[in-house]
Structure 1
Amino acid sequence: MVMIMKIRKTFCFNTLLLSCLLSIHAGESAATPITIDEQGSFTVGGSYKQHTGTWSQENFISENGQRAYGDFAYVEYQKPVNAKKHPLVFQHGGAQSKRTWESGPDGREGFNTMFVRAGYSVYLVDQPRSGESNLSTKAVTPDTPWAANPMYGDKTLYVLSRIGHFDDSGKPVPNAQFPEGEKYYQAFQQSWTIGSGPLDNDLNAEVLSELVKQQKDGAILVTHSMGGTIGWRTAIRTDKVKAIIAYEPGGTPFIFPENDMPKITEAKFKALSATAMGVPMDDFMKLTKIPVVLYYGDYIKVGSDNVGEDKWGTEYEMAKQFVETINRHGGDATLIHLPDIGIKGNSHFLMQEKNNREIFELTLDWLQKKGLDK
C-alpha cells in the first residue's frame, strides 16, 4: 500500500511537471529564459550626397568635400537556437519605429521576444529617415507627415489610433484593451518619432527588399499601419517574401491592378480616406503567390463621429476589396476582423495591448496552417 501511494504521488508530480512544461511551450508563460544563438544590429541600403570643394583641417566644419549620408534602414535582430526556416521581418507604421514591436506602454512583453520564444528569428526595422535611421539625404519638406508641428499631436494621434476618447475635462479614457492611467498614456505618446526627411515608401520598400534578399530562405513580412503599403511593394520587388502578416494596414495606398481599381469609401474628413494605387497586372499577381493575412481591431465604423473610427472604417472597406481582388485572381488572402471572432476592445496598436498574447497566438496558428512553422 505504501509503495502504491508513493507511485501515485510520483505520477501526480510528473503529470503536474509535464503540464507546466506544456503550458510554457504553448506560450502561456514568458518567464522562461530565451536561448539566443546570435544577435546584433546593422544597416541596410543607404546613399550619400557629395558636396563640392575640398575639405581641409583649417576649415574642418565646412561641408566642402564632405558627404551627407542617409536613407538606410537600421536593423536589430535575434536568432534563437534551432530557429525556424523563415525569419520574421517587422516593418513599423508612420511616425513610429521598431519600438512598435517591443514592450507595450505598461511594460508587457512585446511581439519581438514572443516570436523569438516561438522559435522564429526576428528582425526589427527602423525604416529610412525614422527612429535610429534618422539620417536623410533630403531635407524635411512642409508636406512631411507630422514634422511641421510635432509637439501638439497627442490628442490627435490618440483618437486617430482609436486608443480611446476624452471626457469633458479632457482626460483620456482608454478603450477596453489599452492600459488605463496617465503613466501609460504618457508612455504611448513617447513612442512617436518625427521623420528626418520626406516620406518615400518606394525608398522604404527598396531597402526592405534588400534586407529580405539577404535571407537565405526568404522571410515573412510583418507590417503595421502605413507599413502595409511597404510590405505590398516589397513583395512586388522580390520573390523572397514568403508571406505577409499585416496588422491594420492603411494610411498609405493599397495595391490594385491598374485596370481593376477599387471603390473609394470617403471619410467625413476626406483627407483621411483610404487610398489605392494601381500597378501593372504582372506586379499585382506577385501578391497572389504568397499567403497574406490582415488583422483589424475594434471600434471601426464608417460615418462615426469619432474621426479615428471613421477613418479606419474606410481602410477596412478598402481591405475587403484588396483581399477579394487577390483571391479573385487565384491568391490566398484572409481578412480577420477581431470582434467577428470574439476578440473585442482592441485599438490600432493591438500588438501592445492587454490581450496581445491572444493576438500573437492567433498569428502563430495562421503560420502553422500555412506551413510556415518549420
Structure 2
Amino acid sequence: MTFKKTAAAILAATLITGSAFAMKPVTLVDQGSFLAGGTVVTAPGDYVGTTEPTNNAGETLHGDHAYVFYQMPKNARRTALVFLHGHGQSAKTWETTPDGRDGFQNIFLEKRYKTYLVDEPRRGRAGRSTVAASISARPDDQLWFNNFRIGQWPNYNDNVVFPKDAASQDQFFRAMTPDTGAFDSSVVAKAMTAVFDKVGDGVLMTHSAGGGPGWETAIASSHVKGVIALEPGTFSFPEGMVPPVEETTSPFPAKGTAVSMDDFMKITKIPIVVYYGDNIPKGDTPVANWGEDTWRIRWNLAKKWEALVNQYGGHVEVVSLPDVGLKGNTHFMMEDLNNRDVADLIEAWLHKQGLDKSVFS
C-alpha cells in the first residue's frame, strides 16, 4: 500500500486479508518501517576504496540496531503497543498464526492500538551484527516442540490448543530464526530504548527471552508506561537479592539478573502483568519431563519476583491462564487457537490500568 500524506489530510487505506480467517477491515492512516539504535564500527586505517576496493581500511559497519514495522489505525488509542519476540524468533511471532489466523498484530489493530513489531538486533531483518558468529545448521525442531510445551514429540499434550495439522506444524518450525551474532541482552535493550525514543509513550509486550531485555528497557526508558510479559524466562532483582538457582531436570536453568536498587525501583513505578500458559507443574519438586520443568522453575522465579516488586510498592500481577479459565495454552499463547481470548484478557488489563485511552477522548 502507498500512503500519501499532506498537511491537510492523510489518505486512509483499508487493510483486508484474503485468508479464510480474515480480520475485520481496519482503516490505516499510516504504516512503515524504521531502524533504531545500533552502533558503528570503523576499520583501522584510511579509506582508499577508489584505488583499492577490496581493502576495507577506514570503512564503517552499521549494526546492532532494531528493525521496526508499524501500523496506525484510524482513531488510534493514545498508547502504542511495542512487541518484542523471544529466542529463535522474529516479528513473525506476532503476525499471522501458523494455521492462517490473525495474530496479535491484526487483533490489536482491530482494537485500535498502534502496533510496532520489532526484530531485535542480530536477528531477522536486523541481522547486521558488529560481532562475527557462525550459524548452526543443527537439527533441533523437536527440542523446541518439547520445550514450548506443545507436547512430547511426536505426541501433542491432550488439552493443547495449538494447531495440530501438518501444514501448521511445518509453518511453525520454519519461523525459527537464527542469530547472526551473539545474543546480548544489553544490546537489545539499548536498541529497544531507541525504539521507544522514536515511538514515544507505549506499552511493551515481550515474549520469552525478550523478557530480560524488556525489563532493562523499562528501566532505561521513561516512555515505557507498562509491560505485558508472556512467559518471560528471567527477572531483574536488586543486587544481593537474586534468588538461588533452583534444581531442575531442564538443561535451561532459571536465573534472575542483578540490578541496582535504584534501577529496581523504576520497575515498581509502572503496571506489569506476566502471563503463563498451561501444563506447567507447580511446586518445588523437579519433574521428569524437562520441557515442563523448564517452566515450573520460571513460574517459581516469577512468583518470587512478583512478591518482591509488590513489597516495594510495585504493581505486578503474575497470572496462570488456566486459573482464569483459559486451558491448554502453550509457550506461544499469541499463536494458540484461543489467541483472541488471550488478547481479550490483555485488553481488559490495559483498560484496568487506564492504558486504552483514545487520542480523541
TM-score by length of 1: 0.85
Match of 1:261 among 238, 242, 254: 242
Partner of 2:272: 292
Question: 1:36 is aligned with what amino acid?
Answer: L
Structure 1 residues 325-349: Cα deviation after superposition (integer angstroms, max 9, x where no partner): 1111011100110111221111100
8 Å CA contact 1:47–1:71 kept in 2: the answer is yes
Distance across 2 between alignment mates of 1:68 and 1:182: 42
Aligned to 1:120, the other structure's residue is in SS state coil
2:22 equivalent to 1:35: no
Q: Please report how far the alpha carbon of residue 69 of structure 1 lies from its aligned counterpart in structure 2 after TM superposition.
A: 2.0
8 Å CA contact 1:88–1:219 kept in 2: the answer is yes
Larger Rg: 1 or 2? 1
Distance across 2 between alignment mates of 1:31 and 1:317: 37
Distance across 2 between alignment mates of 1:150 and 1:317: 33
Match of 1:45 among 37, 44, 53: 37
Structure 1 residues 78-132: Cα deviation after superposition (integer angstroms, max 9, x where no partner): 0111111110000111111000101111011000011111011000000100010
Aligned to 1:352, the other structure's residue is in SS state coil
105-114 or 52-61: which moved more? 52-61
Give the unaligned 5+ runs of structure 2.
1-20
Partner of 1:187: 171
2:341 equivalent to 1:334: no
68-77 or 149-158: which moved more? 149-158
Determine what percentage of the aligned residue pairs are the same residue. 40
Distance across 2 between alignment mates of 1:31 and 1:92: 22
Question: 1:99 is aligned with what amino acid?
Answer: K
Computed over aligned residues only, the root mean square deviation of the Cα atoms, in angstroms, reads 1.6
Structure 1 residues 250-306: Cα deviation after superposition (integer angstroms, max 9, x where no partner): 0xx31001132224322113x411101111111100011000000000111262322
Residues 286, 368 of structure 1: CA spacing in aligned structure 2 closer, same or farther, 3 A cutoff?
Answer: same
Match of 2:82 among 81, 86, 89: 89
Distance across 1 between alignment mates of 2:71 and 2:355: 18
Partner of 1:215: 199
Aligned to 1:32, the other structure's residue is in SS state coil
Residues 215, 31 of structure 1: CA spacing in aligned structure 2 closer, same or farther, 3 A cutoff?
Answer: closer
Question: 2:261 is aligned with what amino acid?
Answer: M
Question: 2:30 is aligned with what amino acid?
Answer: E
Runs of at least 4 residues of structure 1 off by over 6 A? none
Match of 1:137 among 126, 130, 143: 130
Partner of 2:60: 67
TM-score by length of 2: 0.88
Partner of 1:15: none
Question: 2:265 is aligned with what amino acid?
Answer: M
Match of 2:231 among 227, 239, 248: 248
Partner of 1:323: 306
Question: 1:49 is aligned with what amino acid?
Answer: V
Question: 1:160 is aligned with what amino acid?
Answer: N
Partner of 2:256: 276
Distance across 2 between alignment mates of 1:109 and 1:367: 20
8 Å CA contact 2:247–2:286 kept in 1: the answer is no
Distance across 1 between alignment mates of 2:80 and 2:316: 20
8 Å CA contact 2:77–2:113 kept in 1: the answer is yes
Partner of 1:14: none
Q: Please report how far the alpha carbon of residue 133 of structure 1 lies from its aligned counterpart in structure 2 after TM superposition.
A: 0.3
Q: Please report how far the alpha carbon of residue 48 of structure 1 lies from its aligned counterpart in structure 2 after TM superposition.
A: 2.0
Residues 31, 184 of structure 1: CA spacing in aligned structure 2 closer, same or farther, 3 A cutoff?
Answer: closer
1:96-175, aligned counterparts within 5 Å? Answer: 96-140=89-133, 147=135, 149-166=136-153, 171-173=154-156
Residues 289, 30 of structure 1: CA spacing in aligned structure 2 closer, same or farther, 3 A cutoff?
Answer: farther
Question: 2:174 is aligned with what amino acid?
Answer: Q
58-67 or 357-366: which moved more? 58-67
Residues 95, 353 of structure 1: CA spacing in aligned structure 2 closer, same or farther, 3 A cutoff?
Answer: same
Partner of 2:47: 54
Distance across 1 between alignment mates of 2:311 and 2:243: 13
Distance across 2 between alignment mates of 1:318 and 1:242: 23
Partner of 1:22: none
